[in-house]
Structure 1
Amino acid sequence: MTSRSLFFSFLFLIPFCVCLNQEGRYLQQLKLGFDDPDGFFSDWVETVSGDGAGDTPCNWTGVRCSKQGTGFVEAVDLSNANIAGEFPAVICRLTGLKFISLYNNSVNGTLSGELSGCRSLVFLDLGQNFLTGELPARLSELPELKYLDLTGNNFSGDIPASFGKFQKLEVISLVDNLIGGNIPAEIGNISTLKQLNLSYNPFSPGRIPPELGNLSNLEVLWLTECNLIGPIPDSLSRLSKLVDLDLSINKLTGPVPTSITELTNIVQVELYNNSLTGELPKLGWSKMTALRLIDISMNMLTGTVPFELCSLQLESLHLYENEFEGTFPEIISNSSNLYELRLFGNRFSGRLPENLGRKAPLTWVDVSNNLFSGEIPASLCNNGRLEELLMIHNSFSGEVPASLSTCWSLKRIRLGYNKFSGEVPVGFWGLPEVSLLELAENSFSGVIGKTIARAGNLSTLNVANNMFSGELPDEIGLVGGLVEFSGGNNRFSGSLPGSIVNLEQLTKLDLHNNGFSGGIPSGIDSLKKLNELNLANNKFSGNIPDKIGELSVLNYLDLSGNQFSGKIPVGLQNLRLNQLNLSSNSFTGDIPPVYAKKIYINSFLGNPGLCGDIEGLCDGENVTKNVGYVWLLRSIFVLTGVILIVGVGWFYFRCKNVENSKECIDKSKWTLMSFHKLSFSEYEIMGALDEDNVIGSGASGKVYKVVLGNGETVAVKKLWGGSKKGESEDLENGSGSGSVLDNGFEAEVETLGRIRHKSIVRLWCCCSTKMCKLLVYEYMPNGSLGDLLHSGKSGLLDWPIRYKIAVDAAEGLAYLHHDCVPAIVHRDVKSNNILLDGDFGARVADFGVAKVVDGKEKGGKSMSVIAGSCGYIAPEYAYTLRVNEKSDIYSFGVVILELVTGKRPVAPEYGEKDLVKWVCATLDQKGLDAVLDPKLDSCFKEEICKVLNVGLLCTSPLPINRPSMRKVVKLLQEIGSVNPMKFASKDGKLTPYYYDDGSDHGSVA
């Protein structure tokens, strides 16, 4: 044998090992199945061992081994690791595994039956991922399982009846999935269960299974938004250990059962947003000594509030938006822990409890929209914690208590629409934390105090329709964050303080119907965000400053009824005004050409020095006045005759081509279908459809702005009489619905006629004949997001407004996808189809190509042609022609990218790319700053970055990786909101978490 052969033979005899034990190799397989951008698995590597025994993974991040020293892997915790990939079935080869958490990652795919191989498993948390498919029926075969959390995924199908066979399960959470069917009665067989949370799933309409009353160990029962119907079963009274009951946002009917008072350990009861009727139980509440929080708002409950209920040591009491009446029990003042009282939207009368707040740390009080009278209890802020005091639309009287002028914690005050009087305490004007101060529609008198200089957080000041007098203090210019100031219909006098031009955040200044004099302060052009300026009916004089034309976002200007003189600045032509009124002044000279049109004639009446003809023809251009008058009268006569002849001829020939010419004349041929109570007729609409009122035009027709006789404004879409596209659907960026017109009309009517949501544009009615179809909508004064974002007015959209628009639009789409049965896919989500109201609240609009998706067709509903707009179309839709909710989610992701970047979805600067590809490429090459809209304030950079990530998630090339719209809403809300506290459980104990019910309680406009 050669020496080389001997050498290699010797090597084989050395006990040398570079390997892992078997469990380590299984975990290595798990690691290879995931994308790991943050390097979570960086220490999951093999090491060299020379003793022949395989190395264990016990020191790897997220891995824990048994304490007995056997080296068996006992726990794998990959929570919040930012990993992506399919669920690793190999994990169940770890035979001693008791704990698995993949919480809050991007795990996708389905759960296979192999999971039942984890025979030792006690804890399983797969929440906040992208898992799909049905719940594995064999999960119940896990004999040791106590904790099961599958929250925030996309599981569908029914809850298997086999789940009733769990032997030791204590916690089950299936929140926020796509689970259908009914809640199985078999769940009542899990005798060990302590927490059951099935909230936010689109179950079929069904009753609460009475068998749930058999869960004798149950502590938490959450069935929020589960499509429950029928009464609350009496069997729930047997849940003697129940601490938290949440049946909110369902369609439960009947009364609140007397049996509910048998829940003697209950701490929190939430029954809000149902259809419960009748009176609350009068007796039995005294047994519920542990009750601290109760919310039975947004029902149809009647009668008075039980004395026994108010005698408990409550912390939070929500009764709003019911039909309660009578006086409110005085004994509520004895609740020493009460921090929240919301009673708005009922018919309560009499005085508020006199000692309210004397013993309690009141934080939020909202009694708006009732019949309360008497004075404000002086003790409301005794404990110095009151943040919101909302009392609008009642009959309160008397003065503002002096004690409130030292309530430094106050943030929102709404006392409008009452009968208050007297002077406001001086310190009340300068509360440092107040952002909203509303005193409108009362009989307050006196002056606005100089202490307002201390109101550092004040953004909205509304003192309109009172009897305030005197001059505005110069100190008002120190309130740097003031956004809206409404002081119309008072008795203010003197000149406007020059300091008012320092209010750079001001968007609305309304001081009409006062006694102000002097001129408009110089420097008015520094108010770059001013959107509305109303100084009508005062005694202002002098010239209008030329630089007022530099207020680029001004769209409402009313200076009527003053003593202004001189020429009208030509710079006004630079503004896009929705309303202009300069009447009843002393202006002279020419009217700026843009406004020298008949439509603006009322804007200039009562200015004798202006040229006599609205078209700019001055008297001096004629040889003599008499000759001019004669010529003018003759011209008018001849012109009228010509117009009459042409009009009759046009009318005749138009009607001649109609199947039945009487339709052109006979108003009875119009068919009206209304979806809300109307305060106008179809004839009033038809009479206003002239070219001067056109505010938009697309492939499907024209849109008109119509101001009704009652002062309200509506938008009217008049569809063309025939399709301009034949049978094809629209792919143009700025078009209308883009469908064949009859189908588009029917789709819009069918969709908007049956849905109701604050973030969906409201369709008032439709009118139609054989030759014409009209759709009448609520008017959105700020137009479309696309028009505003990609125009010179984009400066109006700071980041907080853009964020609000994103959340509003997401909520509207989530309603279509999750709350409509069957679901509705919009198919043309884009910034031009998101409309903005006066407060920049967003509404999803234009449902001409919307489709119902019943979920029975795998992969989505097949379309014959593509609908949508360039840059917004999901890649899979373009080549499969199959549409589902994921298509809308992609389009919405593009809208988010528009909001973050300020760029259009398609543009020459991208080359062959679209916005999605440009953002991804630019992030890789140049970083975040190159993507963000430079107009946005850098102080919001962290929040903007998080919203950008949501947009990128929505525009994932793979539909399965896109979150549901419900999850998008949740992600967006988590980024920017600080929400009321509620109780939740993650580990068997009740711990606090935050939630938002989506409402701004008491914020009546």
Structure 2
Amino acid sequence: MDLRSRSSLPPPLAAMLRLLFSFFLLRSSLSLSQDGLYILMAGRRLADPNFALSDWNPRDPTPCNWTGISCSGDSVDAVDLSGLKLAGAFPSILCCLPRLSGLSLSSNSIKGSLPSSSLLPCPSLTHLDLSQNLLVGPLPAVFPPSLSYLDLSGNNFSGTIPPSLPSAAPRLRVLSLVANLLTGTLPHSLGNFPLLLQLNLSYNPFAAGTIPASIGNLSSLQILWLAGCNLVGPIPPSLGHLANLTDLDLSSNSLSGEIPSTLSSLSSVVQIELYSNALTGHIPIGFSNLSALRLFDISMNSLSGNIPADIFLAPTLESLHLYENNLSGPMPVTLEMAERLTDLSLFSNRLSGDLPPEFGRKSKLSFVDLSDNLLSGEIPAGICSGGELVELLLLNNLFSGRIPETLVDCQTLTRVRLPNNHLSGEVPAGFWGLPHVSLLELSGNSLSGWISPAIAGATNLSKLLISQNRFTGHIPAEIGALPNLFDISASSNHLAGPLPPSLTDLTELGQLDLSSNSISGELPLGIENWKKLVQLNLANNQLTGEIPPQLGDLPVLNYLDLSGNSLTGNVPIQLQNLKLNQFNLSNNQLSGHLHPLFLTSSYHNSFLNNPNLCTDISGICSHSSNPSSNHQLPSWLIQSIFVSSSFILILGLAFFYWSCRIHGKKRKMTDRSKWTLTSFHKLGFSEFEILDCIDEDNVVGSGASGKVYKAVLSSGEVVAVKKLWGSDTMEAEREPADGFKAEVATLGKIRHKSIVKLWCCCSHKECKLLVYEYMPNGSLGDLLHGSKGGILDWPTRYRIALDAAEGLSYLHHDCVPPIVHRDVKSNNILLDGELRAKVADFGVAKVIGKGPSFMSVVAGSLGYIAPEYAYTLRVNEKSDIYSFGIVILELVTGKLPIDPELGEKDLAKWVCSAMDQDGEDHVIDPKLDRRFTDEMCRVLSIGLLCASSLPINRPSMRRVVKMLVEASSSCVEKAGKKKGEGKLSPYYYEDGSDHSIA
């Protein structure tokens, strides 16, 4: 009988017979041990893109020397295949190994569910690690009774934690379920693990519930991580009974009430993290009794009162974070006694008074942030006595006096922010040249003196922000020797003399603001070197000479203000090349005629008070002298002027109203106290840093659901920020706020290498921001149909199609319940630095149940919308498959889905028609290498099948992935080798650390 036949036997029976046939064939012809046969069969069920299991040789007598296999005697007792990028279903056949005690498949792409029946045959199993995979479905209710270590974190398990779990695994010592999709509340039975050492349930979308008081019964517990679990209510005092606890993390919840004083009884605790909750009341005393405490973080709550003096007496305290509370009163004098303290963050409180004079002399401080308080007095001279201070952030206080001379010796400093204080006197010369400082911010003080030539030593300086002081003298020529300088903001000082020629050596310069000084002379030669300059503001100085034509060659300049100087000559015609948001040459001595491009209302206020400029152009230069005739104007002209003036007045009022609304919204954007941050990963930035980047200069795109900004954070990390239109997700389809939050919470847990990572969500009652990973190569649509389309050769296009198909297959088949994207198009497929594709823009995505869902309006983009969706408003996975079919046709043909070249046909109909008339070769993008014609034709057929007008004819996305793989195995190999990745697998996923993507 031919076992490959699918017509004579049911598929399950045929699969079973094939397995038995393979087993007996191996058993009869090889000397491999029984354990080896089980392992070999498990390996054959897994996709191995990197050939990590290539040394699994069936001719070996034993598997004990194979990758990931450990033996005790001749029996396999441990299998560790973690981090090998394997894919496929959980290989339950490994549980047939009679002495298997340890199994680790972490950081792979194991998919499907994990039924209890798959684990029960592992009678000796004590260690099970399946973390950072793609498992779905409910948690198993039954485990091997010997199990002591269970890590299922970083998957997509859903449903509740089984209350019977303690009785199912009574010997459990480690339980980690972090970052799944678990719901329900925490069961009280969690307190029934007699041997438990670690309990980690962080970052799951549990229903709002309290911390079970029974957890206080876990007398052996050492680690308790419940961050991001939607916990409410008070912290149970019973947690103070956990005498062996070393790590307590209850951060990022909605816990309320006071901090229980019993926590000061945690004699073994090393770190306590209660940040980002709604805790109130005073900080209890007694934490000085915690002899092992190193980190105490209760920031971002609503705590009030004074800082207890005894907290600085904790003998091992290294990091203290109390920022963003309502703490008030003076700083305790015991602050100077915290000898182990290295990290102090007390910003955004209402602390007052002076810092202790001895602050820093006994400790080795590395990070100090006391910003946004009411602290006064002088900066303590010994704040860097330990010689390890890296960041000194004292902005927005009332500090006075001089910058301490002792800071010149603080060579470890990287960031210094002292703006908006009352500092005065000259800056010590050596302070300008600290070698590792990247940010020096002194704005908004009363500092005086010269910018020292010693600044040449600040070779790492990126931002020099010294506006609104009393600095005098010339800008030193040595400033041109700073290779990393990006931002010079020195406005509103008393700087004089010419601009140094060396300034044009700053090739990384992005912003130069020297406005409101007394700078004279001409603009220096070599301005064309500022290829990255975005803003140039030299207004209100004493500059002379002509405007350099080279300014028009700066590719990204969008802010140019040279007003209030004594510039002469013509307005260079080259300036018309600039894409300017702000342009002002007013109040100079320019002359000649303007280029016609400038003769529009957009530039009406750009050339004011230049008496010799455009004297023959009425209405553009408002205050130009125009020696016209004194004859009385005709009545018809007077009437026309009156009507025009009225019309302009109405437009002005309308613009004023619109401007007020815009500025009102902008003010609301800066009302930071009303913003709520929902994070889906551990973040290295705050919502305030994101808000600072919401500027029109940073816009990189705009789509149906919102405008996208590029945000470069202080850490150097780049993220993309989408500001959603209006107050909800779409202009065309308004969603309730709670619905939006539920969808974002679901999408925040999606983890797949082909779906763009959603870092966090910033919410305001009138605005919502989504923070995504930044994709440097932009969208597939822009790249494919733009001037750089030539870099997308066929292997790259094939890989993009496969990546996107895997992402959509994950949404449709591996998410519970499934997610329909509803706006699949080439512009919503983004490309990273290696041109790997990721699906993006979930602004109209829908979580759907069984059967189709009915929408109130059509969402999607013209040319990609499935016919039945447009007619019936019914949406299911088949709608996405149609849209993806159009994307495939774009990749093969290089044509837009709606293009005048196609006539009245859409892309799918045009391809079918053109193929019938001229053959397949006629529709293939002429830029593609014809060596791949056969492969391209196979993929083209898949695209046409997906774009079938009848939904029933469209394959599932899981089937699409399989067909793409089968269409061109050689194409996959070439796509991988292009980037040095070796052969790729259709089931290739990233490792676990990068799974969490939205």
SS in 2 for 1:38: coil
2:805 maps to which residue?
none
Relative to structure 1, the CA distance from residue 618 to residue 188 in structure 2 (aligned partners, 3 Å threshold; closer, same or farther) is closer
8 A contact 1:752–1:763 mirrored in 2 = no
2:921 maps to which residue?
none
Partner residue of 1:534 out of 508, 533, 537: 537
User: Structure 1 residues 632-641 or 505-514, which shifts more?
Assistant: 632-641
1:351-394 per-position Cα deviation (integer Å, ceiling 9, x unaligned) = 12322222222111101000011111122222221111111000
- Kindly state the Cα deviation for residue 290 of structure 1 after the two structures are TM-superposed: 1.5
User: In structure 1, what residue type is equivalent to 2:69?
Assistant: V
2:42 maps to which residue?
30
Partner residue of 2:109 out of 103, 106, 109: 106
1:420-440 per-position Cα deviation (integer Å, ceiling 9, x unaligned) = 111111111111111111000
Q: What CA distance in whole angstroms lies between the structure 1 residues aligned with 2:970 and 2:565?
A: 55
Q: What CA distance in whole angstroms lies between the structure 2 residues aligned with 1:210 and 1:752?
A: 29
2:33 maps to which residue?
21
2:947 maps to which residue?
none
Q: What CA distance in whole angstroms lies between the structure 1 residues aligned with 2:742 and 2:597?
A: 39
1:80-123 per-position Cα deviation (integer Å, ceiling 9, x unaligned) = 11211110010110011001011111111111222022110111
SS in 1 for 2:35: helix
1:868 is aligned to 2:860? yes
1:481 is aligned to 2:495? no
8 A contact 2:601–2:620 mirrored in 1 = no
1:417-458 per-position Cα deviation (integer Å, ceiling 9, x unaligned) = 101111111111111111111000001111111111111111
1:583 maps to which residue?
586
1:56 maps to which residue?
62
What are the equivalent positions in structure 2 for 1:337-736 lying under 5 Å apart? 337-612=340-615, 614=617, 625-627=627-629, 635=637, 637-638=639-640, 640-641=642-643
2:303 maps to which residue?
301
1:753-807 per-position Cα deviation (integer Å, ceiling 9, x unaligned) = 99999966878859xxxxxxxx9999xxxxx97799879999xxxxxxxxxxxxx
User: In structure 2, what residue type is equivalent to 1:80?
Assistant: G
Relative to structure 1, the CA distance from residue 182 to residue 702 in structure 2 (aligned partners, 3 Å threshold; closer, same or farther) is closer
1:481-502 per-position Cα deviation (integer Å, ceiling 9, x unaligned) = 1111100000000000000101
SS in 2 for 1:509: strand
1:244 maps to which residue?
247
1:812-852 per-position Cα deviation (integer Å, ceiling 9, x unaligned) = xxxx99xxx999987548897999xxxxxxxx9999x6356
Relative to structure 1, the CA distance from residue 762 to residue 537 in structure 2 (aligned partners, 3 Å threshold; closer, same or farther) is farther
SS in 2 for 1:416: coil
User: In structure 2, what residue type is equivalent to 1:416?
Assistant: P
User: In structure 1, what residue type is equivalent to 2:503?
Assistant: I
SS in 2 for 1:349: strand
Q: What CA distance in whole angstroms lies between the structure 2 residues aligned with 1:908 and 1:870?
A: 25
User: In structure 2, what residue type is equivalent to 1:520?
Assistant: L
SS in 2 for 1:261: helix
Q: What CA distance in whole angstroms lies between the structure 2 residues aligned with 1:845 and 1:339?
A: 41
User: In structure 2, what residue type is equivalent to 1:260?
Assistant: L
SS in 2 for 1:638: helix
2:152 maps to which residue?
150
- Kindly state the Cα deviation for residue 523 of structure 1 after the two structures are TM-superposed: 0.9
SS in 1 for 2:43: helix
Q: What CA distance in whole angstroms lies between the structure 1 residues aligned with 2:55 and 2:303?
A: 60
8 A contact 2:600–2:620 mirrored in 1 = no
SS in 2 for 1:161: coil
1:592-612 per-position Cα deviation (integer Å, ceiling 9, x unaligned) = 222211232211111001113
TM-score where L is the length of structure 2:
0.71
Q: What CA distance in whole angstroms lies between the structure 2 residues aligned with 1:565 and 1:746?
A: 57
- Kindly state the Cα deviation for residue 46 of structure 1 after the two structures are TM-superposed: 2.4
User: In structure 1, what residue type is equivalent to 2:148?
Assistant: K
1:531-561 per-position Cα deviation (integer Å, ceiling 9, x unaligned) = 0000000000100001110011110000000
Q: What CA distance in whole angstroms lies between the structure 1 residues aligned with 2:726 and 2:337?
A: 61
Q: What CA distance in whole angstroms lies between the structure 1 residues aligned with 2:267 and 2:35?
A: 49
User: In structure 2, what residue type is equivalent to 1:494?
Assistant: G
Partner residue of 2:56 out of 44, 56, 76: 44
Q: What CA distance in whole angstroms lies between the structure 2 residues aligned with 1:534 and 1:887?
A: 49
Q: What CA distance in whole angstroms lies between the structure 2 residues aligned with 1:208 and 1:436?
A: 43
- Kindly state the Cα deviation for residue 869 of structure 1 after the two structures are TM-superposed: 4.5
Relative to structure 1, the CA distance from residue 513 to residue 347 in structure 2 (aligned partners, 3 Å threshold; closer, same or farther) is same
RMSD over equivalenced CA pairs, Å:
5.3
Relative to structure 1, the CA distance from residue 699 to residue 192 in structure 2 (aligned partners, 3 Å threshold; closer, same or farther) is closer
Q: What's the % identity of the aligned pairs?
A: 44
8 A contact 2:106–2:133 mirrored in 1 = yes
Q: What CA distance in whole angstroms lies between the structure 2 residues aligned with 1:58 and 1:640?
A: 96
Q: What CA distance in whole angstroms lies between the structure 2 residues aligned with 1:58 and 1:715?
A: 56
2:918 maps to which residue?
none
Q: What CA distance in whole angstroms lies between the structure 2 residues aligned with 1:702 and 1:498?
A: 43
Q: What CA distance in whole angstroms lies between the structure 1 residues aligned with 2:96 and 2:222?
A: 34
1:850 is aligned to 2:844? yes
Q: What CA distance in whole angstroms lies between the structure 1 residues aligned with 2:489 and 2:419?
A: 12
Q: What CA distance in whole angstroms lies between the structure 2 residues aligned with 1:886 and 1:100?
A: 41
Q: What CA distance in whole angstroms lies between the structure 1 residues aligned with 2:304 and 2:398?
A: 21
- Kindly state the Cα deviation for residue 332 of structure 1 after the two structures are TM-superposed: 2.5
SS in 1 for 2:384: coil
Q: What CA distance in whole angstroms lies between the structure 1 residues aligned with 2:534 and 2:819?
A: 36
SS in 2 for 1:199: coil
Relative to structure 1, the CA distance from residue 881 to residue 626 in structure 2 (aligned partners, 3 Å threshold; closer, same or farther) is closer
Q: What CA distance in whole angstroms lies between the structure 1 residues aligned with 2:257 and 2:248?
A: 18
2:71 maps to which residue?
65
User: In structure 2, what residue type is equivalent to 1:471?
Assistant: H
Paired residues, number:
806
TM-score where L is the length of structure 1:
0.70
1:200 maps to which residue?
203
8 A contact 1:826–1:850 mirrored in 2 = yes
SS in 1 for 2:98: coil
2:125 maps to which residue?
121
Q: What CA distance in whole angstroms lies between the structure 2 residues aligned with 1:874 and 1:175?
A: 38
Q: What CA distance in whole angstroms lies between the structure 2 residues aligned with 1:470 and 1:645?
A: 50
Relative to structure 1, the CA distance from residue 924 to residue 16 in structure 2 (aligned partners, 3 Å threshold; closer, same or farther) is closer
1:708 maps to which residue?
none
2:164 maps to which residue?
162
Q: What CA distance in whole angstroms lies between the structure 1 residues aligned with 2:52 and 2:867?
A: 31
User: In structure 2, what residue type is equivalent to 1:42?
Assistant: S
User: In structure 1, what residue type is equivalent to 2:195?
Assistant: T
2:335 maps to which residue?
332
Relative to structure 1, the CA distance from residue 146 to residue 886 in structure 2 (aligned partners, 3 Å threshold; closer, same or farther) is farther
1:695-739 per-position Cα deviation (integer Å, ceiling 9, x unaligned) = 999998999xxxxxxxxxx999899xxxxxxxxxxxxxxxx99x8
2:752 maps to which residue?
none
- Kindly state the Cα deviation for residue 56 of structure 1 after the two structures are TM-superposed: 2.3
What are the equivalent positions in structure 2 for 1:914-933 lying under 5 Å apart? 924=972
Q: What CA distance in whole angstroms lies between the structure 2 residues aligned with 1:444 and 1:102?
A: 61
2:946 maps to which residue?
none
Gaps of 5+ in 2: 1-26, 671-698, 708-721, 746-757, 772-776, 789-810, 831-838, 899-924, 929-935, 944-960
Relative to structure 1, the CA distance from residue 250 to residue 861 in structure 2 (aligned partners, 3 Å threshold; closer, same or farther) is farther
Of the two structures, which has the highest relative contact order with CA contacts closer than 8 Å and spacing of 6 or more?
2
8 A contact 2:495–2:518 mirrored in 1 = yes
8 A contact 1:601–1:614 mirrored in 2 = no
SS in 2 for 1:494: strand
1:207-251 per-position Cα deviation (integer Å, ceiling 9, x unaligned) = 000111110100110000000000000111111111110000000
